[in-house]
Amino acid sequence: MGSTYRFACDACGYAVEVSGGIDYGMICATATIICKDCRALHTVMISKRPWRVMDGWRPKAVHCPKSRKHAAAYWEHPGPCPRCGKELRRSDEPVVMWD
Instruction: Give the per-residue contact string, 19-48, with Zn ion (x = CB under 5 A; - = no).
Output: ----------------x-xx----------
Number of residues that bind Zn ion (CB under 5 A): 13
The SS3 assignment for 35 reads strand
- Rounded alpha-carbon distances, angstroms, from residue 4 to 37, 69, 97: 23, 26, 6
- The answer to whether residue 90 forms part of the interface with Zn ion (CB under 5 A) is no
64 binds Zn ion (CB under 5 A): yes
Identity at 69, one-letter amino acid code: K
Q: Which stretch binds Zn ion (CB under 5 A): 15-23, 24-32, 45-53, 82-90?
A: 82-90
Rounded distance between C-alpha atoms, residue 90 and residue 80, angstroms = 12
CB 26 within 8 A of CB 45: no
- Amino acid identity of residue 73, one-letter, is A
Per CB under 5 A, does 76 bind Zn ion? no
Interacting residues with Zn ion (CB under 5 A): 9, 11-12, 14, 35, 37-38, 64, 66, 70, 81, 83-84
